Structure 1
């Protein structure tokens, strides 16, 4: 069976389900959440080295696990999602045991989660992956807004925090991988919630440094990246404009030299040397200006290993333009789900812009110096040649 083909069609189908109806009341259980769960499932499938069939099962379950919200409310949405998956997969000749496994993974996400095997554990952990990430509080706000829309009333922060604390206390990641990877951050998130509830004790954490990191002024940091990147872009545009001005200037001079003075060489042979010097100066200047503006593009390919090692900048098109969309999508999901990886990419992007700018301005400065001193030398040569020619006539 062509799992990749069916998965592509499945993805298109689920996206059309979410986009085909008005789901403005779903602040959290929407297409973005589904895509994040798929990305987390993919990450775990790679870590657990799942075979092609098992990878298909967990990814298909991830895509369908919240589709029950499309044709109903929160109650029994897992059952509706499993039925939608079953109907779709039967229409694409997927075998019955595989369909049953996919439905089982979807039903296992029902709270309290009760997974019976590794595949169900992977989907359950992917569904609540954000419990152990720094994005927890953003997602928690979305869940609160969605609950308010569903209940038709406002939910106080105290009431919501209490219910969220209860949920986190009762929850545990099912796979050893997520326990190790997300457990500490989940504890930090829980403690922050408890700090807001003075009646509840705060458990000590073993990672105070992470709290300091989480307390960084994120808006200020993001503003810094945005302003720096914008400034670099303006400097790059200025460098390109300077190069274009010089290219235009030297082109005009070269055209004049080739079109006018060379026809006068027989009559004025004494101008051969200064004309040749000026021509060489203009050509060299133009070459350096072209080098300053000529784009340098990498091979446009990255590997899954480079993503896992956080060794690739996915914000620069030169690192992914030859990659298939799915590979880039999965890579970007890993970037977005890992704040450290995200900021590392932003830092690399700013640094790379700076390296390119440094090269541009070095070449431009060299071109301007060559042109400036070359023009001076050429003019002096013209004056000397004219003077010598005048003396020879007497």
Structure 2
């Protein structure tokens, strides 16, 4: 008979340890999982009529195999070994048995090779979930854990495929486990395969629907493009009108100043000759109007965005075959082929329209930036002219 007092004490110790130190975010690797592993280990061991000493080692290893989760998620087995060793050493447990327990714990690490029957039993008990009807529910708990602690996120299809691959890659190592879980494991594999296929079909159907929706122009899409183009054209017209206004206003002011200063026989011309200080406000006004009109002219100046194109680059996102600044750079034959391709592929059509809108916006940004500079210079010039004129008169 194994030492039931020590096993009970170990179970209480693990329960208290998990209660006080295990994160509540561990929804899979918690006390419930550990308790079920202990239970399965005992039941699988019955098929071998193990000696009491071996059963004791197996059960103690089952209790401690996941205790390392209290401090780390990855490579928790090493931490579990340290915790088990500390507890059993304090209980004056034989060192050679502690080593066997630690070997069993390390055997539960993914990819480890087992060397003893006790290790095989514990590993089978640890993965017994794959041969139960509750597999799919508990697998979702593991998925949550991985998202929290490992940062691994899966779509439903990715998770279904991962779980199917896992079920197909693992197998029970002991005969009792095979007899007990193989039937349900086969059902789980089939269910998971069916689920994966359904999700795959749904994904393909959704992708096909998205392609069809994009390939067939919808009223909302057409309205959006039409509205955007109209807005850009209206804004461009407003910018040009504002630029023309600034050009006309500044041109008139400069003409008046130049005319009066050039007429030496006029009263104003004579006055300026006798009082050169008055030339300061006039000079300021002339300089600022000149700068303002230059900015306005540059803003109103036609701007064409163009690229050096190659036939093999006609599908680039930066290329817009609908804009003359682009297509006039390529031979007629290449342009015709490109347009035929666009008419066949709505993706390409939308891409060209989107590119056109982008560069229209870029042109508008430059227009309004230059207009703002022009208006600002004009405003500052008027203020400085008035101030300097008042100062000159006051003297």
**If the length of structure 2 is used for normalisation, what is the TM-score?**
0.48
Higher helix share: 2
**If the length of structure 1 is used for normalisation, what is the TM-score?**
0.48
